[in-house]
Chains A and B, each alone.
Chain A
Amino acid sequence: MSMFASSPPIEISELVPIRDLILEQTGMFFEEKKFYFIEKRVQKRMQATNSTSVREYYRLLKLGGGDEIGQLIEELTTNETYFYRNIPQLQSFAEEALQLLVEEKRKAGDYRLRIWSAACSSGEEPYTLVMLIKEHLHDFARWKLEVVGTDIDTKIIAKAQMATYDERSVKDVPPVVLNKYFENQGGRHRVRPEVTNLVQFHHLNLMDRYAMRRMQGFDFAFCRNVLIYFDEDSRKKVVNGIYDALNPGGFIFLGHSESVGKLSGAFKLVKFQKSLSYRK
């Protein structure tokens, strides 16, 4: 007997249409053994919307105005993407890799910086990167910074462009940063224009060879949220595509448990004080 006395148990077969709908809208694919993950969150949303059957909830998801799918996706991705995710890795980026690269660029008189956030989802990552860079470059005013966020899901990109988030997304943001770069909008947090102006979003499917080849000239590439859903060969293709997109000396950052070295030997291992990085 569950804690929520009014939610009925859900059959696996009932979850399949919801799973497919999620895949269609977000690209996130949940295999059968992860259904418990969806089930709990669907039950929660069913209770919140007073739906008495999964079928009814599915109908609501698909046709009931569009907001419910947003809510469900937020429930599902709440653990996955938020501002300042994986702080040690971000520190490594901002305090070590970034500093090294900008020093090299200063010497060459080149003050442009381009960063790619692949599979950027609802935008937390690219915005985080802008904030980090603003906080860690003492001569930021001299630099021309451009961050590009891409995702396969056009709806989530639209959400990213709105740059407005709830409490869960900003839970790990340092208070100083929250004050400086966010403004309150009806109880939610909106990213200020000084940050959003530096980010542009567009659609990109990482497995599309020709579209990937159009990505060029980046100094940093982040692909932290999505490779776990890919098989080994596809991961290699993505990493190789990122290689092509980077400038010589550009850095690649993958998700915490993914190893660049195992996917491609083309990147050089760089040892910093506190971390390992890979650069072209």
Chain B
Amino acid sequence: MNDEHRHNVNRLIHDLEHGDETTRRFAAEDIEFGKNFEAIPALSKGLGDSSIAVAEACSAALIAIGGEAVAEAIVSNLGSEDVRLRNLTSEVLSGLGDAAVPILANQLQSLDRDVRKFAVDSLLMIRSEASMKALVVALDDNDVNIAATAADGLGEIGTANHLEILATYLTTEDQWMKCAVVRGIASIGGPKALRLVRPYLNDEDMVVRITSIQGLGKIGLVDSAQALLEMLALDDLGFYGGEVVTALYQVLGQLERDHFPSVEPVQVIGNLSRLVVSGASDQRMKAIEMFSILNLKDYAEALIPALGDDNEDLRELALQCLEKLAPQNLQPFAVLARDTAKTDLERDGAIRVIASSILPERDALLLEALQSADKVTIKGALSYLPINVGPALSRELAQHLTSEDLSLRLATALAMGRLAAPEFIPLLVPRLQIESEQDIKDAIDNALIQIGSSGSNNSIAPYIQSFTQEERSIALELYGYENPVSRQKEIIASLGDQHTHIRVIGLKVLANLKLLTLPIVEHALADEDPTVQVEAIRGLALLNLGDQLIPTLKSYVEYGPVKYERVQVELIQLLVRSGLLEALEIIKPFLHSPSTWIKIEAVEGLRAIGNSSVLPDLQELMDDADEDLLEALEQAIYELEG
């Protein structure tokens, strides 16, 4: 250690002992950074600093320095009257890890109860093999709180060896200690633990019983599930039901389905039905899930009350379970759907269950719902209409698309999108033009997209690929949906329209109809608007000109300066994709573009073509290149050389 270093540390220690609050804090922070062990005594005192901020900074520094010396320096603080100092010291000790274990083990012998408690807490926080060994001593502490904390904690971090040790404490008379031991044993787990815990399921003490039930959940073996199912079949389960279901859920979650113990549904259904509607929400949730976990198909009706639960997540869970269970009898749900005395949510849920069914009576029930006078049932049926419904149901949709109620219109548009049948087109297109609500418009447009991309022979397809919603709407207005090919003349006429967006739309439709020709494209290339030019270049790609491509592009480039960067990019990319060698000559000039972006695009393009004759041109650029261009150049040169 040289003198300068020592001087610095001394200065820091001085600041720590004599400075104002901010100075002391900075000093502690710097010591933490430097891990200066010479400061340990000062830091140790600093743990009791009047400023909490300084004390915490000292704590962080002590942990950073680490080692037994620190533990020794501070351990006496555990007996201090100052609560804050004791807590902070405990934190530092646990932060020191194994280095502190021997010191803490000694403290377990202290006559001061609080010191022993802190020692146990610190050892628990360290959670290492060494600390566990030390903790075993605390099991015999005559303060039950300390012994119980040790038992519980050992269970959490202990191994099978500790089972034996903990088991010897089961005979304790103290209820809390017994609970802690049971919990600890359950935490360790395994068949032996199960054997040890099981007898306490019938303990006369409620607290011990609950702890054992929860313990079974933690242990998680088939026999645990067995024991819990037996409890679930009891008539007088009463108060413990929620915990039994929670534990059962935990256990079954860890087992493979074919390892489940067998269960007679009729035995457990009584308690389960009750638990679906009583108890706290997480308990009700598990009771609901039990139905699908145990596949209680025949008792699906018992979940109906959950459809009206206040808790949204629970209702959703119940619905999902019902869908999974696929009830064999839809009548109770149909009855619920029609019952106007029930809440909208329950009725909606009932329809959803019906819609998810694959039974033959499904369609008839849905048709009834669609034809009813009641908005709730109509809306429900629309929302959940499955894709494979028969034609009778499809026809019913038409009237609701023009309903006065906007939620019905929306639900109908969404349903039509799901079903994606071409016969909806004549209904959707006129509606698109008149509809005033934006989300319904979006839904209608989306439905058209679904139909148009479904591949069946339909007339919407030309308006799908690369169209925005607005463009589509305009195109439909201009050219209609009945066989757009027959409107070819009009479409071509649009190419001369004064409005840019109409010219663009015209090009897009022709492209999708595969009616683009070279004259059309050349004309568009000469358009004054860059958006049209871009579209034209894309069109060129579709024409498959082969050899003709380069001459066409050459004359286009020579015809006038290609001003817009967007267009240049499109051009370069087209040239690259052509795979033609002559493309090189057209791309090269772009290397000298004033725009870095275009330069890079050109470099990338040349790289992609892969012809090393361009190397000199690329190398020439390196001198003046900025960071991004340089990166692109290096990459390209590297690839072309190699």
A5 touches B467 (CB 8 A): yes
Picked from A5, A244, A265, the residue with its CB within 8 Å of the CB of B25 is A244
Interface 9-mer from B323-331, B397-405, B581-589, B595-603? B595-603
Set of chain A residues within 8 Å of B84, measured between Cβ atoms: 265
Picked from A1, A6, A63, A243, the residue with its CB within 8 Å of the CB of B596 is A63
B53 touches A264 (CB 8 A): yes
Is A204's CB within 8 Å of the partner chain B? no
Is A56's CB within 8 Å of the partner chain B? yes
Q: How far is the CA of A62 from the CA of B464 in the complex (A)?
A: 31
B52 touches A60 (CB 8 A): no
Set of chain A residues within 8 Å of B467, measured between Cβ atoms: 5-6
Set of chain A residues within 8 Å of B52, measured between Cβ atoms: 264-266
Interface 9-mer from B186-194, B231-239, B446-454, B492-500? B446-454
Is B544's CB within 8 Å of the partner chain A? no
Interface residues of B in 600-624 (CB under 8 A from A): 600-601
Q: How far is the CA of A27 from the CA of B73 in the complex (A)?
A: 42
Could you mark each residue 525-542 of chain B with 1 if its beta carbon is under 8 Å from any beta carbon of chain A, else 0?
A: 000000100100000000
Is B552's CB within 8 Å of the partner chain A? no
Is A106's CB within 8 Å of the partner chain B? no
Q: How far is the CA of A3 from the CA of B600 in the complex (A)?
A: 33
Set of chain B residues within 8 Å of A265, measured between Cβ atoms: 52, 56, 84
* CB of A172 to closest CB in B, whole Å: 22
B53 touches A266 (CB 8 A): yes
Picked from A3, A6, A62, A264, the residue with its CB within 8 Å of the CB of B466 is A6
B600 touches A59 (CB 8 A): yes
Interface residues of B in 8-54 (CB under 8 A from A): 22, 25-26, 29, 33, 51-53
Q: How far is the CA of A4 from the CA of B464 in the complex (A)?
A: 10
Q: Which residue of A lies closest to B626 (CB)?
A: A63
Q: Which residue of B lies closest to A47 (CB)?
A: B468
B53 touches A243 (CB 8 A): yes
* CB of A32 to closest CB in B, whole Å: 24
B57 touches A240 (CB 8 A): yes
Given A59-B601, A266-B53, CB of A1 within 8 Å of CB of B22: no
Interface residues of B in 438-497 (CB under 8 A from A): 442, 445-446, 449-450, 453, 464-469
Is A40's CB within 8 Å of the partner chain B? no
Which 5 pairs across A and B sit closest by C-beta, in order of nearness? A266-B53, A63-B597, A266-B52, A6-B466, A265-B52
Contacts A5-B464, A6-B468, A59-B600 supplied; 7 other A-B pairs, CB < 8 Å: A1-B449, A5-B467, A6-B465, A59-B569, A63-B628, A243-B25, A265-B84
Q: List 5 A-B contacts (CB under 8 A).
A: A5-B465, A5-B466, A5-B467, A243-B25, A244-B53
Interface, chain B (partner A; CB < 8 A): 22, 25-26, 29, 33, 51-53, 56-57, 84, 442, 445-446, 449-450, 453, 464-469, 531, 534, 565-566, 569, 573, 595-597, 600-601, 628
